[in-house]
């Protein structure tokens, strides 16, 4: 009798309880799905690491329900151009990125990557992280591995070794070939040599992405070279972090975009990525002629002891201050990170020159730049870009967004604010304030477009079956807070960010979840083969 009564009492409870249908329901938000289509009100259901349902899910059960009323629900953003590989091991949360809705980072840009790639990806796979992570193979790193920092064409034997390294990089999981033809040793590379290596990447389904040989006076020729490499190499080609440097060159984005458009018209798969700032950032070596950097730091120091050679180098630095990255004045060259003297961080080249009690002129500014490089150089921010060019490039339909950022140590140095604010700045400044882009188009350029470029068929869109990389943000308040004066400030407006179905930002706070995975390019054989 007692057993019967207990069973009778328990029966209604058993009937009443049902397991949740979803792990997460994001309810009541404006879904901007990444395709460019108009937004719509819908709920998004997540099961495991996938989007399970989209539509009216009222009354459906979930372990977690997120109230997204008044919010936009978008695919997680994919940053196709970062320099995050060192920082990801120091800060696996990638907090500066996830706080602006970024869920995937691509490394190996500007011709620089780990060589070989397999050990790096294995180490990455063993390191819990909040974001997904992939890499390109760097042409400069491959060349340096085989030839060092010499300024000459490769021999047939050296080319064979470089082709072999590139082939292995694609099999290991690279997404394609990157080049930094502005930098050493990329600058020493003849175009046909790059084409030959790019052709290997293309044979595996990879892309070519290039920091071009020049972004100032010869920017049009550099775009032509980038297009040529893609065309002759038989693979998609991308002008990365596209910008026009130097006041005398402002407005040339009209011509560079026309070159890309003409290439597309004849069948070349040419695209652009860009960041929304009027300053660039790279090392102080960018002020030096590339020939002076052949052989590395020791060789440079030796050249600077020869008066005639030092004078030649100095004349190039003066020209670059006046007509290139200096934007016409050494006040526009600001130290971002000087490991050997952090007191210089945030100071302009002119200010450092004045502190050394020298007369204020470009000749002395150049001499100060030489002295800085002799001590190992610094990273620097260069204010030399026009807002008109920035907006024109952003408006071009075949431009996607990439930060060219890193994972800085919070509070250390004076880094470019792009690392903290790129994606939030697009949404706040160029969507809400200036209306340069619609919200649907902006989200497309930050999600589905780079996903398609990389061949990530299961990311970048809000669709059933896609990976649940999602960002929930307030379109009225989303904004970058980082600026050049105070760069160490996180973006605002992102309430929830999911990576592979797990919240890495929950209610505006960084969670303890580390659901990020290594992403592999098209050349890696499937598991088990």
Nearest to 272 by CA among 480, 80, 33, 431: 80
**462 near 76, Cβ under 8 Å?**
no
Q: How much is the pLDDT for 17?
A: 59
pLDDT on residue 230: 98
In 82-131, DSSP assigns E strands to 82-83, 102-107
How confident is the model at residue 1, as a pLDDT?
40
Instruction: Compute the C-alpha angle 456/462/467, nearest 5°.
Output: 50
Instruction: Tell me the percentage of the chain whose pLDDT exceeds 90.
Output: 95
**pLDDT tens column, 45-58:** 999 999 999 999 99
pLDDT at 296: 95
Residue 13's pLDDT is what? Answer: 45
Residues in CB range of 114: below 8 A, 6 or more apart: 85, 108, 120, 135, 141
Average pLDDT (4-11) is: 43
E strand or H helix that includes residue 170 = helix 156-172
- Residues ≥6 apart with Cβ < 8 Å to 155: none
- Residue 3: pLDDT band with limits 50, 70, 90: very low
Q: Is the pLDDT of residue 206 over 80?
A: yes
Q: Tell whether the model's pLDDT for residue 6 goes beyond 70.
A: no
pLDDT of residue 404 exceeding 90, the answer is yes
Is the pLDDT at 43 greater than 60? The verdict is yes
Query: Which tokens hold the place of 147?
Result: 């030839």
In sequence order, the 6+-apart residues with CB closer than 8 A to the CB of 446 are 77, 78, 101, 400, 401, 423, 426
pLDDT value of residue 2: 42
For 166-190, write each residue's pLDDT tens digit: 999 999 999 999 999 999 999 999 9
Question: What tokens were used for 116?
Answer: 């070989």
* Overall average pLDDT of the 263-272 stretch: 98
Q: How confident is the model at residue 529 (pLDDT cuts 50, 70, 90)?
A: low
H helical segments located in 173-233: 191-203, 219-233
Residue 348 has pLDDT above 70, yes or no: yes
How many angstroms separate the CA atoms of 318 and 344, rounded? 21
Q: Is 128 or 6 the better-scoring residue by pLDDT?
A: 128
Position 221 scores a pLDDT of 98
The pLDDT of residue 77: 99
Contact 480/417 with Cβ under 8 angstroms?
A: yes
Start and end residues for every CATH 3.20.20.140 domain found in the chain? 136-239+241-278
Structure tokens at 47: 């099961």
User: For the segment 431-487, what is each residue's pLDDT rounded down to a tens digit?
Assistant: 999 999 999 999 999 999 999 999 999 999 999 999 999 999 999 999 999 999 999
Closest CA to 443 of 28, 33, 30: 33
Nearest to 377 by CA among 268, 288, 494: 288
pLDDT above 60 (res 204): yes
Per-residue burial over 175-198, b if 16 or more Cβ lie within 10 Å, else e, is bbbbbbbbbbbbbbbeeebbbbbb
pLDDT at 19: 79
CB neighbours of residue 355 within 10 Å: 12
Confidence grade of residue 292 (pLDDT, cut at 50, 70, 90): very high
Q: Quote the pLDDT of residue 528.
A: 53
Query: What pLDDT, on the 0 to 100 scale, is given for residue 526?
Result: 77
Cβ atoms of 374 and 304 within 8 Å: the answer is: yes
- What's the whole-model pTM score? 0.95
For the chain, what's the residue count? 529
Average pLDDT over residues 374-383: 97
pLDDT at 525: 85
Say if residues 228 and 235 touch (Cβ distance below 8 Å).
no
Q: What is the CATH number of domain 136-239+241-278?
A: 3.20.20.140
Average pLDDT over every residue of 299-320: 97
Question: Rounded to an integer, what distance in angstroms lies between the CA atom of residue 173 and that of residue 132?
Answer: 14
b/e per residue, 62-86, with b = 16+ CB within 10 A? beebbebeebbbbbbbbbbbbbbbe
User: Does residue 228 come out as left (phi exceeding 0), alpha (psi in the -120 to 50 range) or beta?
Assistant: alpha
Read off the pLDDT of residues 241-260 as tens digits, 9 standing for 90 and up. 999 999 999 999 999 999 99
Instruction: Check residue 137 and give its pLDDT.
Output: 98
**pLDDT for position 302:** 97
Supply the mean pLDDT for the chain: 95
């Amino acid at each position: 009798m007692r057993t019967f009564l207990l069973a009778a009492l328990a029966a209604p409870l058993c009937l009443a309880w049902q397991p949740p249908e979803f792990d997460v329901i994001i309810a009541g938000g404006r879904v901007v799905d990444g395709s460019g289509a108009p937004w719509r009100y819908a709920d998004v259901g997540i099961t495991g690491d996938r989007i399970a349902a989209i539509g009216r899910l009222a009354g459906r059960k979930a372990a977690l329900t997120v109230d997204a009323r008044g919010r936009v629900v978008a695919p997680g953003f994919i940053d196709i151009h970062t320099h995050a590989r060192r920082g990801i091991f120091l800060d696996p949360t990638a907090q500066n990125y996830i706080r602006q809705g970024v869920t995937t980072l691509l490394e190996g840009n500007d011709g620089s990557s780990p060589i070989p790639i397999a050990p790096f990806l294995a180490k990455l796979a063993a390191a819990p992280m909040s974001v997904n992570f992939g890499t390109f193979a760097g042409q400069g790193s491959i060349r340096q591995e085989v030839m060092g920092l010499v300024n000459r064409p490769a021999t047939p034997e050296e080319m064979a070794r470089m082709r072999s390294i590139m082939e292995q990089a694609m099999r290991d999981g690279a997404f394609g070939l990157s080049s930094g033809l502005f930098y050493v040793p990329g600058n020493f590379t003849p175009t046909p040599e790059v084409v030959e290596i790019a052709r290997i990447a293309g044979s595996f389904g990879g892309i070519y992405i290039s920091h071009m040989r020049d972004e100032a006076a010869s920017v049009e020729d550099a775009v032509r070279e980038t297009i040529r490499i893609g065309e002759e190499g038989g693979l998609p080609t991308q002008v990365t972090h596209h910008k026009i440097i130097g006041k005398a060159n402002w407005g040339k984005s009209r011509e560079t975009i026309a070159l890309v458009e003409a290439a597309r018209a004849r069948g070349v798969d040419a695209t652009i990525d860009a960041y929304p700032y009027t300053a660039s950032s790279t090392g102080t070596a960018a002020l030096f002629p590339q020939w002076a950097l052949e052989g590395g730091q020791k060789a440079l120091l030796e050249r600077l002891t020869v008066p005639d050679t030092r004078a030649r180098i100095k004349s190039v630095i003066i020209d670059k201050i006046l007509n290139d990255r200096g934007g016409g004045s050494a006040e526009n060259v600001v130290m971002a990170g000087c490991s050997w003297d952090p007191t210089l961080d945030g100071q302009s080249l002119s200010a450092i020159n004045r502190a050394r009690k020298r007369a204020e002129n470009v000749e002395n500014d150049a001499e100060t730049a030489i002295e800085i490089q002799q001590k190992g150089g610094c990273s620097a921010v260069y204010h030399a870009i026009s807002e008109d060019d920035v907006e024109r490039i952003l408006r071009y339909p075949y431009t996607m967004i990439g930060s060219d950022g890193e994972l800085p140590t919070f509070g250390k140095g004076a880094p470019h604010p792009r690392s903290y604010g790129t994606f939030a700045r697009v949404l706040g400044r160029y969507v809400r304030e200036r209306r340069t882009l619609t919200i649907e188009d902006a989200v497309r350029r930050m999600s589905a477009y780079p996903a398609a470029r990389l061949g990530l068929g299961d990311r970048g869109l809000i669709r059933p079956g896609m990976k649940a990389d999602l960002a929930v943000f307030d379109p009225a308040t989303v904004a970058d807070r980082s600026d050049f004066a105070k760069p160490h400030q996180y973006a605002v407006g992102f309430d929830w960010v999911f990576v592979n179905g797990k919240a890495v930002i929950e209610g505006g706070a960084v969670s303890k979840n580390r659901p990020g995975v290594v992403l592999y390019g098209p050349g890696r054989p499937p598991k088990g083969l």
